[in-house]
Amino acid sequence: MSLIVTGTIGIDTLHAPTGSAERVLGGSCSYFAAAASHLTPVRVVGAVGGDFPAEHAAILESFKGVCLKGLERRPASRTFAWGGRYLDDMNRRETLFTELGVLEEAPPKVPAAYQDSQFVFLCNTHPSVQMDLLRQFPRRALAVCDTMDLWINVARLELLALFHEVDGVVLNDQEAMQLTEARNAVSAGRAILDLGPKFVVVKKGEHGAILVHRDGVATLPAYPADASHVVDPTGAGDTFAGGLMAHVALTGKGDFATLQGGMAWGTVMASFTIEAFGLDRLRTLDAAQIAERMKRFQTAARVG
């Protein structure tokens, strides 16, 4: 079943207590697609500028399951670039710079060949852009959007309109509580269900994720990684969403049990992403390593 992701393909500069990485391939769409492609083919809709390095394009192309027909190259524009620094415990980060580049221009067009896409994930961007992209998938079976605190603050009405159109929402716990003024993640999820979607996945970083669905609640811890294996948390949430949606697309269903299973795949994929800067760990990953990590996670997170 065809999976598609829309979002940012960018150039990241990262500083962490574990080291630094200068102008590496980043962006939510890149992380999502790289992770999902290990499980199922994934189509990409995004835009980059004339400065987008050939080696970054080569990295995207190296993921066999990633289809780049929807990647727009705009020679006169600049690629989105972001710089960030992680603080000591790696749970907090500060933004050093943001160069919007192509994100200030018209959103990318969805190629005609992509309009039959069934499973749609809209990475975080202005909710009006997400809505515009969503409408270009008339045959969608299931659509899910991410968002962030910025849009909750400056584009709340557009965000609420989007929530009415999607099947699911993925967002961080702090954002979910900010949006709903709920006191915990479960209650925030329930409050968001009242805004339209059938399910909400509340991401809690190193503490896992909670699925609040019209048919039930699921909760999953993160993979219990040693601190020495946590090199760069960038993209963990997007990778989680990629693993989750890949499982949904593979299964062809969006019911509670499928989403619960998808959360485990998302958790496993995210556990790899954080082991290296940028997409480095996802590039060297193979099916046997994924299967082994899933087995370990199932053992570690077994209930009784």
At its nearest, how many Å lie between its own copies and the CB of residue 191? 10
At its nearest, how many Å lie between its own copies and the CB of residue 179? 14
Q: How many residues bind its own copies (CB under 8 A)?
A: 43
Closest C-alpha among 267, 284, 242, 274 to residue 86: 274
User: How many CA within 13 A on the CB side of residue 49?
Assistant: 16
Q: Is 224 in the site for its own copies (CB under 8 A)?
A: yes
Contact indicator for 117, 4 with CB cutoff of 8 Å: yes
Q: Is 293 in the site for its own copies (CB under 8 A)?
A: no
Contact indicator for 39, 247 with CB cutoff of 8 Å: yes
Q: Is 16 in the site for its own copies (CB under 8 A)?
A: no
At its nearest, how many Å lie between its own copies and the CB of residue 215? 11
- 28-37 and 54-62 helices cross at what angle (nearest 10)? 30
At its nearest, how many Å lie between its own copies and the CB of residue 249? 16
At its nearest, how many Å lie between its own copies and the CB of residue 245? 15
> Within its chain, how far is the Cα of 87 from the centroid?
22
Q: Is 301 in the site for its own copies (CB under 8 A)?
A: yes
Q: Is 210 in the site for its own copies (CB under 8 A)?
A: yes
Q: Is 64 in the site for its own copies (CB under 8 A)?
A: no
Q: Cα–Cα distance between 125 and 105 in angstroms, integer?
A: 13
Contacting residue, 3, 179, 222, 274, with its own copies by CB under 8 A = 222
Q: Which of these ranges, 101-109, 123-131, 156-164, 219-227, lies near its own copies under the rule CB under 8 A? A: 219-227
Q: b/e string for 116-130 if b means 16 or more Cβ within 10 A?
A: ebbbbbbbbbbbbbb
Contact indicator for 142, 122 with CB cutoff of 8 Å: no
At its nearest, how many Å lie between its own copies and the CB of residue 301? 5
Enumerate the H helices of the chain as residue ranges.
Answer: 28-37, 54-62, 127-134, 149-154, 156-165, 173-180, 185-193, 236-251, 256-273, 280-283, 287-300
Contacting residue, 24, 123, 169, 230, with its own copies by CB under 8 A = 230
Q: Which of these ranges, 70-78, 113-121, 176-184, 285-293, lies near its own copies under the rule CB under 8 A? A: 176-184
CB-count burial class (<10 Å; 0-12, 13-18, 19+) for 273:
buried
Contacting residue, 68, 148, 155, 217, with its own copies by CB under 8 A = 217
| x/- letters, 89..128, toward its own copies (CB under 8 A) | xx--------------------------------------
Give the C-alpha distances (Å, rounded to integers) separating 39 from 1, 44, 147, 179: 12, 15, 24, 32
N-to-C CA span, the chain: 35
At its nearest, how many Å lie between its own copies and the CB of residue 182? 6
Q: Is 159 in the site for its own copies (CB under 8 A)?
A: no
At its nearest, how many Å lie between its own copies and the CB of residue 225? 6
Q: Which of these ranges, 34-42, 73-81, 256-264, 284-292, lies near its own copies under the rule CB under 8 A? A: 256-264
Task: Catalog residues that contact its own copies under the rule CB under 8 A.
Answer: 88-90, 182-187, 190, 204, 206-208, 210, 216-228, 230, 260-261, 263-265, 294, 297-304
